[in-house]
Chains A and B, each alone.
Chain A
Amino acid sequence: MDVGVIVKAALDVNVLRSDPSGRISIESIPLVISEYDRNAIYEGAKICESTGGKLYIYSVLTWGPMERKLKDFENVIREALALGGEEAFTVVDKSINSSEPMYTSEILAKLISKYGSPKLILAGEASTDMTSSTLAPYLAAKLGYNVATFVKELKLGDGYVEVLRDADERLERLSVSLPAVVSVTGEINTPRLPTLIQIRRAFRKPLHKFTLADLGLSPIMSRYEDYKVVTVKRKNVIIEDESLEGVADKLIEHLIQEGVVKR
């Protein structure tokens, strides 16, 4: 059975750059593969291996400007192909410059229905940069698919998937009829690292790039967000002393002064 995986080239949360006014400088933050997408790809690859299906990667370059982000984006898609994807369908368009699930879902829904339309679509439980967890269910609604999110175990049945999903206080085992979009947690598997051969092979796999016009979609105009650096500043004091006793005493004094430890 063919499986699709949604991959996001996410802002690298370890690299935060801002301008003097405190605005996050999105254009200068590099993109990396969103962490749980690796789990989704590995889970999809396992299903494809056991059923003889093809694994499609779907992705939209959401963070602009396109010219500066394209290289990072291609690296992320190549990584997804090295991890097990067979063919990638992507959308890269100048008018897309922010990561809003509402727009991204609409573009992905169009892309998926036009290319491959696998009956099972996997995604990570949340992206590492925005962590909204809304994309999988939003996309499912757009596609007219069923949905299950925060899935820790996945088993393919005949025309359905059986999943174990995290429901905060408890776990729920569900039967979800296909077609479906399923978002997976980091616990579902331990993704394998691609071998050198897989990495090299990934460069020969097809990577298709479409514009919004190619998909019959209009340019995205609306942009109503504003990104700022959080003003909660940490003190970043490294406590040093000649002895560990000295370090401990200094730390204790700081904590008492902060009023968080009571004498």
Chain B
Amino acid sequence: MKVLVLLDSNKYVSDIHGFIMKAGFSDASLVAVSNVEVSEGFDKVYRVGDVSSDILVKLGSEIGDFDLYLAPHSKKCIEALSFYAGSRGIPIVTEVTDFSIDEGRIYRNILSGRGLVSYKFTTPMAITIATGKFKGSISKTPEIINMDISPSTQLLSTEEKAFGGVDIENADIVVGVGRGFKAKEDLDMAFELAKVLGGEVGCSRPIAADYHWLDEDRWIGISGKKIRGKLYIAIGISGAPQHIMAANDVKVIVAINKDKNAPIFEYADYGVVADLYQFLPVFLERLKTRLGV
């Protein structure tokens, strides 16, 4: 088994190694193509200028054929891996969450996380791996090969995203705010709730993308961040499919919304049909009393 791994950040190495181990390919030859320094866990690492667009196509003849092409489910890697798969006519399955060796099948979620689709695992195949579903470590010291190669698309400049340095993806508890909040100052109630619970504040798309009340690293959605902690309290959020899909791995979901027909209630364990402006102050007060804060 020969495995090629496309990487744009070291933070995904554990996901990749975890997948390889779960699939029973620990003895495989592992070759990485990366734009960041990779010091461990591969037989060979090709260092390139960037990992998007046609980078793998350009490298193709240099590094040969593989049975399995893996990448994290990051935006640039999805692009480059899909483009490569397209150029070779090989199947690609993205955001794979599980691998069953017995059945020879891989799994991914569809329909906002309400559906699960399984694909027969065949080779050659290209796969992007869902973040946080696999964990592993393979110890190997790679040979590093520097390649003076970049994609055909020309990078003009980069812009940092406005980030508050918040990591909602790894937070145990997230309090989500949506369009039910009428003013930015009102979000203080959510921040207070998050503080009492020891969690972080996340938000739906309009709060980050349209109103810019909160930074993008708090945005819960398929274009934003995915959360997978133990509690998510969605306040004033109607529950667009893209939002729900990104919260579906959370153990317990609570929805607070004044519209009893809001889709979010279908995806919630506990629902409170109430105006957040009336309910939140009461909830906060009772919670503080109960928790002795």
A-side residues, CB < 8 A to B, are 11, 13-14, 16, 24, 35, 100-102, 105-106, 125-126, 128-142, 146-150, 162, 164-177, 185-187, 224-232, 234-240, 244-245, 247-249, 251-252, 254-256, 258-263
Contact = CB atoms under 8 A, between A and B. Distances in A.
Contacts of A100: 91
Interface string B62-101: 0000000000001110111011111101111111000000
Given A102-B92, A172-B155, A236-B265, A167 B75 contact: yes
B223 interface: yes
Interface stretch (B22-30, B177-185, B246-254): B246-254
Contacts of A176: 153-154
B119 interface: yes
Given A134-B92, A134-B94, A251-B270, A226 B117 contact: yes
B75 A168 contact: yes
A21 to B, nearest CB: 13
5 contacts: A132-B94, A141-B87, A149-B79, A237-B269, A255-B252
Contact of A186 (B79, B173, B205, B286): B205
Interface in B261-291: 263, 265-274, 278-279, 282-283, 285-287, 290-291
Interface of B: 9, 52-54, 57, 74-76, 78-80, 82-87, 89-95, 105, 109-120, 122, 152-161, 173, 197, 205, 209, 222-223, 230-231, 241-242, 245, 248, 251-254, 260, 263, 265-274, 278-279, 282-283, 285-287, 290-292
B271 A227 contact: no
Main secondary structure of the interface of A (DSSP, over half): mixed
B240 to A, nearest CB: 8
A177 B153 CA distance: 7
Contact of A260 (B78, B116, B251, B265): B251
Given A173-B158, A174-B156, A238-B273, A249 B83 contact: no
Contacts of A227: 110, 115-117
A230 B78 contact: no
B222 A131 contact: yes
A179 to B, nearest CB: 12
Contacts of A131: 95, 110, 222, 242, 245
A173 B291 CA distance: 49
B80 to A, nearest CB: 8
A126 B271 CA distance: 30
Given A16-B115, A175-B154, A224-B119, A140 B270 contact: no
B75 A149 contact: yes
A251 B282 contact: no
Nearest to B108: A132
Contacts of B87: 141-142
Most buried by B among A100, A176, A236: A236
Given A177-B152, A249-B286, A168 B74 contact: yes
A9 B201 CA distance: 35
Contact of A147 (B9, B53, B242, B290): B53
A182 B33 CA distance: 24
A260 B83 contact: no
A14 B83 CA distance: 31
Contact of B231 (A171, A225, A234, A255): A255
A234 B268 contact: yes
A99 B267 CA distance: 25
A150 B221 CA distance: 14
A135 B152 CA distance: 19
B265 to A, nearest CB: 7
A189 to B, nearest CB: 12
A255 B119 contact: no
A260 B252 CA distance: 8
The 6 closest A-B pairs by CB, nearest first: A141-B86, A138-B86, A137-B82, A260-B231, A134-B82, A137-B83
B172 to A, nearest CB: 8
Most buried by B among A102, A125, A162, A245: A102
A129 B111 contact: yes
Contacts of B9: 169
B249 to A, nearest CB: 8
A231 to B, nearest CB: 8
B86 A229 contact: no
B76 A167 contact: yes
A136 to B, nearest CB: 8
A222 B269 CA distance: 39
